[in-house]
Amino acid sequence: MSWLELSVRVARQNAPLVESLLQNEPVLALTLTDDADDPVLEPGVGETPLWPSVCVTALFSGDTAVEPLAQLLSLVPGVDRPQHVTFRKFADQQWERTWLDRFQPMQFGAGLWIVPGESDAPASATHVLRLDPGLAFGTGTHPTTRLCLEWIDKHDFTGQRVIDYGCGSGVLGIAAAIKGAASVVCVDNDPQALTATNDNAERYSVKDVISSMRPGEFSTQRADVVLANILAAPLVELAPRLAAAVGAGGALVLSGILEEQAEEVRAAYLADFPGMEKRVLDGWVLLTGTKPE
């Protein structure tokens, strides 16, 4: 099977727009680097990134049409083809090598790390996730994943029931599992995402804790923590379902939200989660709330 890689270089402030446009397409993976190709976009704790431009790289199946994607990106200010947009095709093995070369160990919070393959993790790491390339991503290179993982790092999941809605590769649910969750339900409408989640759960010896399902199978699930890192529109649409899934005293964690969309999403959940808190990173937002007892 072949793959299509799209790379677009944009001013830093336009990166969220590019991501939002591409996430409405059949994208399999998104990675952000600075324009000099440094491998990690997110700054260290307490640091502020200073790069003026960003490279957004997206992965599609090899039969994806190029021209519609190029036309879509022409909507972004300052993006001209071919100066700022490139496409290339390659086979499975080439993509895996490229992925491993780009993906460096990353820290989230005090002790949670994600590392590629068999790379070494620092001795200070308390919880380590080792991810290999797959068809569904969620590796931490995106600000929304980072926001969620840093929230997970700060909380004790011992004995808790967790739902990861829109699980992708299962990275959030698996992080909760290795931090002691008693059960994790991973939900996604992409069968490849569920396959990646199940494979990763087996790798981490948490397959007895993690179950996966399509949204149609998700009905009366209840949890102590519900994580949903998707997009603003489906978060608003799913508000009744996700709010009902959180038990009394439980936590709701929402991301995949652009900063200008935060109030609309917050309003959809306000009746069940008064006083939701907001955290912003690179134009993306994490909303968290607790359901009253």
Arithmetic mean of pLDDT, 27-34: 70
H helix intervals, the chain: 15-23, 66-73, 92-102, 143-154, 171-178, 191-203, 232-237, 239-245, 262-269
Tell me the whole-structure pTM to 2 decimals: 0.65
Q: What single letter denotes the amino acid at residue 56? A: V
Residue boundaries of the structural domains of the chain:
2-101, 135-290
Angle between helices 191-203 and 171-178 (to 10 degrees): 30
| Domain 135-290: homologous superfamily in CATH | Vaccinia Virus protein VP39 (3.40.50.150)
For 166-225, what is each residue's pLDDT tens digit? 988 788 998 999 889 999 999 988 777 787 788 878 877 888 999 999 888 877 778 999
| CATH number given to 2-101 | 3.30.70.260
For 253-277, what is each residue's pLDDT tens digit? 999 898 999 999 999 999 999 989 9
Residue 203 has what pLDDT?
76
Give the residue, 57 or 28, on which the prediction is more confident. Answer: 57
Give the residue, 63 or 133, on which the prediction is more confident. Answer: 63
Residue 102 has what pLDDT?
60
